[in-house]
């Protein structure tokens, strides 16, 4: 069956007439004061029988009326939200500027270790594969119970963002604890102890060490980075999103890109 026929079957299985759907959609349109949610009798007939693709507003209305996840209705038209992360690599593998990354929100389940070897010693280096006794599929929203009061978001380090190079390479994913958005000032024993912050500026996002003097925020680059440190006014020119508490980084892809640039002479 084509998408329209499947939508018609969903409607008929619920015992709804075309007029029922029209009336329900009009109530949504009234709630949001937006007639784009309204589905007329003729429009629904065209969607079901003539292959007309519904607009995003009408598709949302159908999802609500038919009690279906909008992802299910999108899949009727060949769009699988679970493919967003993998399709990113095909459509646009790298983006020049650092930015927030929310595609992980589209993955409803994940495989995590649910049982560890009782003999596992956290003090020693181990083979992770041997450490894990059993893996299980867990809805990601269930992991929120492990986070407690912390709020995490994710960022992507742009392919041209060398602010923290070589400590954090371009193309890395960073986990940001938004509850840690106040700069800590002290003497750090090493660069690995010094907090790295994810900052939003007028020019975009950046990962950097930070120093604050009155209202002036200094975004300090890594000493080996070609990017100079910058001074911005906190509040008007920059906002601290939070502290970077985790990094996912591939080393081989970075080396491959460097070799490609040398081969092309760029």
Reading the block at residue 124, the tokens are: 């020693």
Q: E strand or H helix at 251, and its extent?
A: helix 251-264
Residue 187's pLDDT is 83
- DSSP H helical segments within 117-243, as ranges? 128-131, 144-147
Structural domains of the chain in order of their starting residue, each with its CATH number:
3-79 (1.10.260.40), 152-253 (2.10.109.10)
Residue 98's pLDDT is 80
Residue 119's pLDDT is 63
Rounded distance between C-alpha atoms, residue 84 and residue 106, angstroms: 7
β-strand pairing of 173-177 with 152-156: antiparallel
How far, CA to CA in Å, does 132 sit from each of 114, 115, 118, 129?
8, 6, 10, 6
Reading the block at residue 126, the tokens are: 């181990």
How far, CA to CA in Å, does 152 sit from each of 31, 112, 179, 260?
32, 18, 8, 35
Q: Report the chain's C-alpha Rg in angstroms.
A: 25
3-state secondary structure of 181: coil
In the numeric block, the tokens 């607009």 are attached to 55
Residue 255's pLDDT is 55
Reading the block at residue 83, the tokens are: 């493919």
The predicted model scores a pTM of 0.57
Closest listed residue to residue 204, CA positions, set 153, 155, 164: 155
Residues of the chain with pLDDT under 70: 103-150, 253-266
Reading the block at residue 231, the tokens are: 């001074």
Residue 158's pLDDT is 83
């Amino acid at each position: 069956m084509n998408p329209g026929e499947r939508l018609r079957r969903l409607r008929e299985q619920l015992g709804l007439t075309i007029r029922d759907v029209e009336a329900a959609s009009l109530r949504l349109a009234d709630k949001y004061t937006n007639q784009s949610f309204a589905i007329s009798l003729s429009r629904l007939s065209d969607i079901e029988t003539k292959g007309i693709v519904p607009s995003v507003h009408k598709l949302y209305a159908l999802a609500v009326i038919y009690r279906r996840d909008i992802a299910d209705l999108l899949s009727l038209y060949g769009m699988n939200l679970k493919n967003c992360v993998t399709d990113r690599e095909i459509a646009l593998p790298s983006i020049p500027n650092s930015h927030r990354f929310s595609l992980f929100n589209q993955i409803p389940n994940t495989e995590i270790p649910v049982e560890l070897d009782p003999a596992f010693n956290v003090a020693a280096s181990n083979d992770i594969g041997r450490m894990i006794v059993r893996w299980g599929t867990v809805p990601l929203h269930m992991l929120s119970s492990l986070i407690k009061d912390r709020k995490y978001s994710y960022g992507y380090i742009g392919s041209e963002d060398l602010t923290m190079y070589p400590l954090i390479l371009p193309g890395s994913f960073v986990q940001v604890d938004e509850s840690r958005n106040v700069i800590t000032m002290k003497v750090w024993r090493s660069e690995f102890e010094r907090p790295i912050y994810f900052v939003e500026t007028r020019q975009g996002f950046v990962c950097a060490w930070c120093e604050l003097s009155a209202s002036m925020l200094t975004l300090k680059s890594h000493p080996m980075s070609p990017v100079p440190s910058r001074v911005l006014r906190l509040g008007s020119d920059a906002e601290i999103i939070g502290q970077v508490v985790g990094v996912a980084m591939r080393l081989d892809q970075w080396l491959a890109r460097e070799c490609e640039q040398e081969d092309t002479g760029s």
